[in-house]
Structure 1
Amino acid sequence: MTLYLFLFLIFVFLLLYFRLHLFLFPKNRLIILMYHQVEKKSTDSLTVSLDNLEKQFKYLKDKNYSSKFFSDINIPTKKSIIITFDDGYKNNFDHLPLLLEKYNLKAVIFIPTKFIQEGYNNHPMMTFDDIRKLDPNYFEIALHTHIHENLRTLSPEAIEKDLEANMQILNHHHINYKKVLAYPYGKYPKRKKDRKIFFMVLEKLGIDFAVRIGNRVNYYPSKKYELCRIDIKGDDSIEKFKLKLIFGKLKLF
């Protein structure tokens, strides 16, 4: 009897930890995917090959995932998914429009404005003109701070100033954006007291949602400043991608 109870408790733990119970309530299940670069060939974990990305997008389309912007997040649908890309790389501009249109999907691009102004590690970045040219039927622009630093290392005043700069620069360049924030490196204040003050700053600035990494499927509605994204790596096979849509990131694969 003890063994059966133990196995039952393990089953319940796994069910809750991986949020598999959300299969019973699909309208509350929200998957947010995180990408960075797209190239013809993958060269590192942050770069997904064009071929792999197309396979992933085709799978989402074939399985009837409902691709959303954050502005659509409160519209209940089955199999809701938000596809996000960080940093504003030029290869996103080069490759994403045709793929998104082909598979009728949407993508959110989080922009750190300093990267657009000054570049980042010799990577070709989009220009503000490129960002303005993105079709709003397929792209939503959102915030990734201005300087792209770990928010755990900054004071509340510095965070507020930086996010104000992020928004002001986008406004200056006449770029429509949503007040949704992706935390640089997925980091935000860890201690409860610091986190409370930090969230007050976000509220003051009118930030609607914020995303960390977390690598888990979301139950939505949930904590609006702690939404989890699932990190899609450059070497993820289509089989691994499918598993991540169910479990998030498992250390076993």
Structure 2
Amino acid sequence: MLTSIMYHHVNSDRCSNNLEIFEAHLQYIAQNYTSVFPGEELTAKSVCLTFDDAYADFYYFIFPLLKKYNLKALLAVPTKYILEDTNYTQDVRLGFEHNDLFHNSAKATFCTFVELREMIDSGLVQIASHSHSHTNLLEDNVDLEEELVTSKHILEKELNIKVDSFVFPFGKYSDDIAKEAHKHYKYLFRIGNALHKDFRGIKGIIYRVDGDNLSKIDSLFSFKNRLKYHFKAFVKRF
């Protein structure tokens, strides 16, 4: 059984988790589950930890925890906002509220390519495309070639890797967009709070449980919530 979980920040003002609670949450996962990358063999209790947007706090706070607890994670990267390197300090990079991070990307509010290479080399971080400009793909005049293909090419060229996963910005897509995305990516992820038997997901889409704003370290794995996630998966299949 696969539980795919979506996170964004730690210690931010929105879409975030308290660092202390989040570390305890990861420790709980490490003790009770097996973390996997997309396509890897599953156990009876497998989790795919996914982090959207590649904000700088992932490098400073979350990556050290992945190393501490030997956990794998998929990091979804919007390529437009990624610098090669930076001289800005940690305080500057982390000094913006969530809603201001994209507007201040020139101050390295996202991970840099240098940092992404370091994390990939650890064997604990795999990279997904999160489009080029992090736009709602359902909006008018969206350049799907740029969002789906250019983003993939940039990541593969800059990081010398193969990118097989795409995470829909805001979880927004249509059947036609999903069909187009599947031409370039094997694994497609969205928001959705459902469980899966494997990485085939539901009609080719992997739904992720929302892991932001955790109140308890094990709340995502409670019997009540898992029953709810199973029911969501059942409904979505039809």
Bin of the TM-score, shorter chain as denominator length: 0.7 to 0.9
The one of 73, 88, 104 aligned to 1:122:
104
Q: Could you say which structure has the larger radius of gyration? A: 1
Aligned to 2:90: none
Residue 49 of structure 1 is matched in structure 2 by 18
Distance 1:90 1:222, change over 3 A: closer
Whole-Å Cα distance in 2 between the matches of residues 133 and 88 of structure 1?
Answer: 14
Q: 1:61 to 1:204 in 2, by over 3 A?
A: closer
Residues 203 and 233 (structure 1), Cα distance of their counterparts in 2 relative to 1, 3 Å cut:
closer
User: Partners in 2 of 1:200 and 1:239 — Cα distance?
Assistant: 35
The secondary structure found in structure 2 opposite 1:33 is strand
In the alignment, structure 1 segments of 5+ residues that lack a partner are: 1-28, 190-194
Q: Deviations over 1:123-178 (max 9, x none)?
A: 621111111111341100111000111112256x8213321110122233234242
Q: Tell me, what secondary structure is at the counterpart of 2:143?
A: helix
Change (3 A) 1:115 1:52: same
The alignment's TM-score, normalised by the length of structure 2, stands at 0.78
Question: 1:108 aligns to what?
Answer: 74
Shift of 1:224: 6.0
CA offset digits 1:45-88 (Å, max 9, x no partner): x111211111111111222x11001141xx13110100010111
Aligned residues: 208
Instruction: Identify the residue that residue 151 of structure 1 maps to in structure 2.
Output: 137
Which structure's residues are more often helix, by fraction?
Answer: 1
**1:165 equivalent in alignment to 2:188:** no
TM-score by length of 1: 0.73
Q: 2:191 corresponds to which residue?
A: 213
Where structure 2 has 5 or more consecutive residues not aligned to the other structure, the ranges are 85-100, 231-238
Query: 1:245, CA displacement in angstroms?
Result: 6.3
Structure 1 residue 217: deviation in Å? Answer: 1.4
Paired residue secondary structure (1:210): strand
Q: Deviations over 1:2-26 (max 9, x none)?
A: xxxxxxxxxxxxxxxxxxxxxxxxx
Q: Percent identity?
A: 30
Query: Retained in 2: the 8 A contact 1:68–1:80?
Result: yes
Shift of 1:117: 4.5
Q: 1:172-210 deviations in whole A, cap 9, x for unaligned?
A: 323424221110001111xxxxx1x323312332x1010
Superposed CA RMSD: 2.5
- Cα distance in 1 for partners of 2:152, 2:218 equals 39
One-letter identity of the residue aligned with 1:105: L
1:97: which partner in 2?
63
Residue equivalent to 1:8? none
**Pair 52,248 (structure 1): closer, same or farther in 2 beyond 3 Å:** farther
Q: Check whether the contact 1:88–1:126 (CA below 8 A) recurs between aligned residues.
A: yes
After superposition, the Cα gap between the structure-2 partners of 1:88 and 1:177, relative to the gap in structure 1 and judged at 3 Å, is farther
With 214-223 and 238-247 compared, the bigger mean Cα shift is at: 238-247
